[in-house]
Amino acid sequence: MARLIDAGPGCPTPTPSRSASRDGPGGLDYNSQVKAETDHLYPLASDFITPMEWPAIAPLVAAINRLKAEKNAVILAHNYMTPDIFRLVGDIRGDSLQLAREAAEVDADIIVQAGVHFMAETSKVLAPEKTVLIPSLEAGCSLASSITGADVALIKQRYPAYPVVTYVNTTADVKAECHITCTSSNAVQVVEAIAKDWNTDTVILVPDQYLARNVASQTDIRIITWPGACEVHELFSADDVQALRDAHPGVMILAHPECPPDVLEVSDFAGSTAALAHYVSDHNPSKVVLLTECSMSDNVAAENPDVEFVRPCNLCPHMKQITLENIYTCLTDMRHEVEIDEAVRQRAKSAIDAMLALPKLSTPLAFRTGLAAKEIEVI
Ligand code: SF4
């Protein structure tokens, strides 16, 4: 069951960046220069950082922003980053694919990926000429680590007649073995398009069994999947949804499709992180809960001050490895650089390009809710 917290602004879970004054890099003081450089930024995060904490955090923010300018670097900040990173040092913000696509276009020599390792690999796949840095090697992902390229090679031997679609939350090795990638915004579109291309009624969608089950309920294509799961979203249950409805009459429940199908069945709306954010902006519900990673609510709430957010607090331990401190160190020491074998990179890029060649969706596709789960084959 998810950890449910009816919090005020900001999740009360401690974040590493709050310890900047104790454990952060030395030599960064809160002085008049830092104050002048950062005073205008504080209002962007005042719902998350108290005035007492600001003098410990502002020197890091100022130092990182100076380093970015000196080194022609940009920071790609995923929606699940804490607000200090997302709002104060992030240059490009969004979901993983949006970040990687913009990374390929941006005029910068260095990309710092404020996200997890597979995202940094995707940036390197699409922008091989740029130096891509990941601030912590501990920033993994339960989905990405659930499957290897060798696993996919065996799947293809076992099911040679079926195309293999991989969710973008996988390593470059896995993408290199797959025929096409998908995101949670376009998974149904990709599955239906590749089934048509291959003239088949069956598609293999790896590695997230819950995304695959949710896609299966939206399409007539038969789906075969892999037993991977996101350790954050798999914790939500239909009982959580009922508990939220009981405690907060009238609340709108919005779920990410990495949640189990019984959660989507009883939710009001379901879609990718981009779809959830659009829904809140477009519909302006009086009270809402986002069944996804905790920091997403913090970041969407900042854009929608009239909406009351009820916050189920499931943190991704991998995303939370990224801190202002290690972003700073990564830029000063130029560590940890992401490298990908060129042959693997090219094959992974083909799988991403196959997805990008599909007609671009004007808005992320929503998943219909209220549908009973279908039984599907798990490899
Ligand atoms: S939230 Fe889930 S899918 Fe995203 S990085 Fe964390 S474990 Fe992986």
Q: Pull the structure tokens for residue 341.
A: 């074998």
What is the per-residue pLDDT for 167?
97
Mean pLDDT of 239-248: 96
List residues bridging with 346 in a β-sheet: none
Which residue minimizes the CA distance to atom 2 of ligand 1?
Answer: 230
If one compares 215 and 104, the residue with the highest pLDDT of the two is 215
**Contact present, 278 and 303 (Cβ < 8 Å):** no
Mean pLDDT of 219-230: 98
d(CA 159, CA 204): 9
Ligand 1 centre from 39 Cα, in Å? 33
Ligand 1 touching residue 318 (CB < 6 A): yes
d(CA 122, CA 126): 6
Average pLDDT of the chain to the nearest whole number: 91
Band of residue 222 on the pLDDT scale cut at 50, 70, 90: very high
Q: Pull the structure tokens for residue 166.
A: 């991989």
Ligand 1 touching residue 78 (CB < 6 A): no
Does domain 12-140+319-333 fall into CATH 3.60.20.10? no
**Contact present, 178 and 355 (Cβ < 8 Å):** no
Ligand 1 touching residue 316 (CB < 6 A): yes
Please identify, by atom number, the ligand 1 atom nearest to the C-alpha of residue 230.
2
d(CA 224, CA 216): 9
Mean pLDDT of 243-251: 96
CB atoms within 10 A of CB 252: 19
d(CA 332, CA 347): 32
Please identify, by atom number, the ligand 1 atom nearest to the C-alpha of residue 316.
6
Backbone angles phi, psi at 15, to 5 degrees: -120, 150
What is the per-residue pLDDT for 13?
44
Band of residue 25 on the pLDDT scale cut at 50, 70, 90: low
Give per-residue pLDDT as tens, 77-121. Answer: 999 999 999 999 999 998 877 887 888 898 999 999 999 999 999
What is the per-residue pLDDT for 8?
35
Backbone angles phi, psi at 258, to 5 degrees: -80, -5
Indicate if the pLDDT at residue 5 is higher than 80. Answer: no
Q: How many CA atoms lie within 13 A of 95 on its CB side?
A: 20
Strand order of the β-sheet with 164-167 is 180-182, 164-167, 202-206, 222-225, 377-378
Give 236's contacts (C-beta < 8 A, 6+ positions apart).
2, 255, 259, 260, 263, 291, 312, 314
From start to end of 207-339, where are the E strands?
222-225, 252-255, 269-270, 287-291, 308-312
What is the per-residue pLDDT for 14?
41
Ligand 1 touching residue 139 (CB < 6 A): no
